Each structure stands twice: as structure tokens, then as C-alpha cells.
Amino acid sequence: MNDGRPLGQPSCYYYSTILEGYKSAGFDVEILRKATTDSIESEEVAIILIEKRLDFSCYVPDGFGTGDCLIISDDRLHIIDFKYGMGVLVDAVDNPQMKLYALGALEIYDSLYDINEVSMTIFQPRRKNVSTWTVPVEELKCWAEEELKPKAVKAYNGEGEYIPGEWCTFCKAAVRCRARAEEKLKLAQTEFKMPPLLTDNEIEEILFILPDLTKWANEITAYATDAAVNHGKEWNGFKVVEGRSVRKYKDEDAIAEKAVASGFKDIYRKSLIPMTEMQKLMGKTKFEEILGDLIYKPPGKPTLAPNSDKRPAMNVADAKNEFNEIMED
């Protein structure tokens, strides 16, 4: 039964259009195929395993994971991991998670195959990212014994030092972590002066810290709000209030009827559908063919970014003009 979507689309409760633009991304798939073909092209026999549970508890107490795809040939193990998210670009080079999966796979298959090296590929279609890294088995096991195992045992026993960093992003305890809070509050503990009196070095230091500090502050606010609204938590000095909202029509048909009856006719606004919907309606090829020469991308507002940002630097004079226009608006 057709539920309104174009024929050929899956009709299922679990179907989502989120990956619609990526499911047939030939570019990504071709790169992925090239990255993995080397694992088996020289072998007459290779095995492929999907969603394989991998136990690496001999290095990390109670440690295990699930390998999305494993390709094993005579002397090579290739692990492929699908990353659905697009918020963080994930690189396969020296990736700890991938190395753990490799260790788990070696525990199972190293005695059956004479595996000399492991290739690890991360496929992240929503970021158009296909990343592969290859490491000798001997080097991987050396890392596991000398670096991974001692740290894993310490962490399992609740020992060692808490070191906040970008790895805190997916930690369930990140919001209430004392070490992370102390690190973020270092900036607040600074004796601030008026901005014009700050040195250039101080301003640069603050600019580097602010994004992470702002993110942490928003996480604290979200956590405290959720606890108060959904779990009845009372915070000293704070109360739950109704947020700002905008007025809305109760019944648009009734509104239109009364407005017209009162002599007001120009009550509708007609506008083009959003560009994304237009492209979906026409299809990407037809969209470019019909409307391509009428589409443009205006320059973004000037913003400060660290030198590690991949975007090219703007011309300072152009940036100044853009900034002044924004201030005038």
C-alpha cells in the first residue's frame, strides 16, 4: 500500500528520510569499496562477518563491542565501522575504539589465520567521510600491553586521575563531573578587568576557552532544568517559570472566515517552498538543470575561528565591511 511517498521508497514504520541523500551516495560507496577491496582481492578465500560481538576483556576488564563488518583473509584483518552521527568527524587513524575492536577480533581469529596487519575503516556518510588506517599486529599488541592495559585496569578500579577533554562529550557523568567543572571554572576564577585593559594574549586565551565553556554552561543549565521540570528537583535560589512564547491562531480557517467577513481580503502570503523541498520535488539533477543558474550562496557573517579550522581566512577589509553592515543592522 502506498502511504504517500514516491514508489520505490521503503514503506515501514522504521523508515526515515534522514539518510535519503546518502543511501545511494555512489561517491562514498565507491571510496569504501576501494578501501576494502584490497583486503580480499589477492585471496581466493575470505570471510565476512556482520555485527560480530568482539570481546577484549583480556585487556579491558569486562570490555566488549560490536564490529559492524569484519573481513578476514589469510594475513589481513579489515574492520569497518559505520558512524551514523554527523556532529563529530571521526578519523580512523590511531582510533582507540577501532583498535579495541581489532584486539577483540584478533583474540578470536589470530589462532586460525596468520594475520600480520589490521586495517580499520570508518564510514561516516553524513559527513562524506571514509577513513582507513593500517597497523601491524605486533605494534597493536604492544600498545595494548604497554599503554591500554595498565590504564584500563586503573580506570576499572576507580584509580588514576580524571583528565577532562574532548572525550567527555559522550560521557554520561560529564555534567556532574567535578574535574570537568573545576577545569571550566578556571576562566571564571580569573580576576577580570575591563575588556580594553586585557592584553592580546589574555583575549586570545579566552577566545580559545569560550566555546567549550559555553557548551559546558549550557549542559549544566539543561541538566538542572530537566531535573526541576521532570523530576521535581528544587534548586536553592531558583524556580521553574513559564518561558516566553508567541501568540498563535487557534483555528486558521475560522480566522480567515472572520477576517474576510469583516472586509479584509489581503490576508494570505504566498511564497516559494524551501530550497531543500524544491530539490526533493524535482530531483537533484533536474534541480541543477532548471534552477542551477538562479541559485547562489551569499557570504557568511564574519566570525573568529582557530587556525585549525578548515575554512580559508577572509580578506580583512571584506570582513570589516561585512561586520560594520551587521552592526548597522
pLDDT at position 308? 86
Instruction: Please name the residue that has the C-alpha cell 586495517.
Output: 119
- Tell me how far CA of residue 245 lies from CA of 120, 222, 238, 240, 248, in angstroms: 49, 19, 20, 15, 9
Model-level pTM? 0.64
Q: Give the dihedral of Cα atoms 13, 14, 18, 22; nearest 10 deg.
A: -120
The alpha carbon torsion through 231, 233, 239, 243 (nearest 10 deg) reads -20
Please report the pLDDT score of residue 200 as a whole number.
86
Residues 6+ apart with CB under 8 A from 94: 133
CA distance 121 to 81: 6
The predicted-structure confidence for 58-74, as pLDDT tens digits, reads as follows 999 999 999 999 999 87
Give the alpha-carbon dihedral of 141, 143, 146, 150, to 10 degrees. Answer: -100
Whole-number pLDDT of residue 311: 86
Q: Tens digit of pLDDT for each residue in 10-56?
A: 556 656 666 565 554 444 555 556 655 655 555 556 789 999 999 99
Q: How far apart are CA 223 and CA 170, in angstroms?
A: 14
Cross-strand bridge partners of residue 58: none
Which three-class secondary structure state does DSSP give residue 208?
Answer: helix
Residues β-bridged to residue 80? 69, 121
Burial class for 10, CB neighbours closer than 10 Å (0-12, 13-18, 19+): exposed
- Give the residues of the chain that fall short of pLDDT 50: 1-7, 24-27
